[in-house]
Amino acid sequence: KPQLVASNDRFCRFLEEYCPVVTETYYPTIWCWEGRVQTLLRPFITSRPQVQYRNELIKTADGGQISLDWFDNNDSLYYPDASTRPTVLLLPGLTGTSKESYILHMIHQSETLGYRCVVFNNRGIAGEDLLTPRTYCAANTEDLEAVIHHVHSLHPSAPFIAAGVSMGGMLLLNYLGKTGRDTPLMAAAIFSAGWNVFESVESLEKPLNWLLFNYYLTTCLQSSISRHRRMLEKLFDMDLVMKARTVREFDKQFTSVMFGYRTIDDYYEDASPCRKLKSVGIPVLCLNSVDDVFSPGHAIPVDTVKQNANVALVLTSCGGHIGFLEGVWPRKCTYMDRVFKQFVQAMFEHGNKIFSM
């Protein structure tokens, strides 16, 4: 059974009643239960539901642009009035976009419940041009704040929830830690977040993990900026950036410099959500597996979670990073998908009861 960590008994009772999946035994797929195997196989095993997006480019205060992919769900039977149709903002991982299978599955789950979704694609990775020499990072929440304000301004009467995966979850947590209760979001769900960046990069630099994940992730980061080379060369030695062989080297030469950090340690400290968790002011449910090499179990801030009544943490012993595969042939629904669906539905339909139970 997963471990449910929370200091608030009412939040626990709310989850047990309206999001019972967090108390059910999680049976990982028996032939790929190990965390690294789950992490590696999930993108190839899980199906890719068909989703028709409507793209919107919004301008930012610094002259940049952000690509949003909308799933309006105009055929919603439960919420035919678009002005009050619940809205879910989805934040993909480090180099992820609206095309990731886990995002498509979240939209599929939301569609069945009648909700509208919008995917926040970080700058420069969803096919749009960079208009300024700036991309994104886990610590800087300015673009996310602009997106949340924009979405809320379009549908001010619609209940509004966000869900972040991996780096998207880190960014969302850092935003919530910064804003406290001063946000239009009524709740948030976080999946496979890296809580302490120092511990995450150290885990990823172990020989096998470097071979399986770190080098590939570094090349993905380099690929995401290579087509914007002409714009980025105005500020960076791109030849040096493209020589990076680890995420840490990439962040040292590129990310930390871009966002004005004196050292990479300063950036990693600011990017670690565990530092801001105490300030979160809305209900948040977090799901992590203790065998996640991107977010090692010993670095998950269990004690800090117990100090904030707004936060609950679900810990599984297996599941890897954005894995959580279950069943003999896990093509369709994962444990993570079920947690997402039940929690979002619980908050939209029963969220007013959370502190009255």
Instruction: Place domain 3-196+272-350 in its CATH homologous superfamily.
Output: Alpha/Beta hydrolase fold, catalytic domain (3.40.50.1820)
| The model scores a pTM over 0.85 | yes
* Euclidean distance between CA atoms 166 and 225, whole angstroms: 20
Mean pLDDT across the stretch 78-85? 97
* Euclidean distance between CA atoms 98 and 92, whole angstroms: 7
Which residues touch 266 (CB under 8 Å, ≥6 apart)?
256
Q: CA–CA distance from 173 to each of 156, 168, 189, 326 (Å)?
A: 22, 9, 9, 27
Instruction: Check whether 268 has a pLDDT greater than 80.
Output: yes
- The band of 60, judged by pLDDT with boundaries at 50, 70 and 90, is very high
Q: Which amino acid is at 212?
A: L
pLDDT (tens digit, 9 = 90+) per residue, 95-116? 999 999 999 999 999 999 999 9
Q: What is the DSSP letter of 332?
A: S
* Euclidean distance between CA atoms 106 and 58, whole angstroms: 23
Q: What is the DSSP letter of 26?
A: P
pLDDT (tens digit, 9 = 90+) per residue, 14-51? 999 999 999 999 999 999 889 999 999 999 899 999 99
pLDDT (tens digit, 9 = 90+) per residue, 229-248? 999 998 999 999 999 999 99
Instruction: Check whether 357 has a pLDDT greater than 70.
Output: no
In the chain, where the domains are located? 3-196+272-350, 197-271
- List residues bridging with 14 in a β-sheet: none
Which amino acids are annotated catalytic?
166, 292, 321
Mean pLDDT across the stretch 262-278? 97
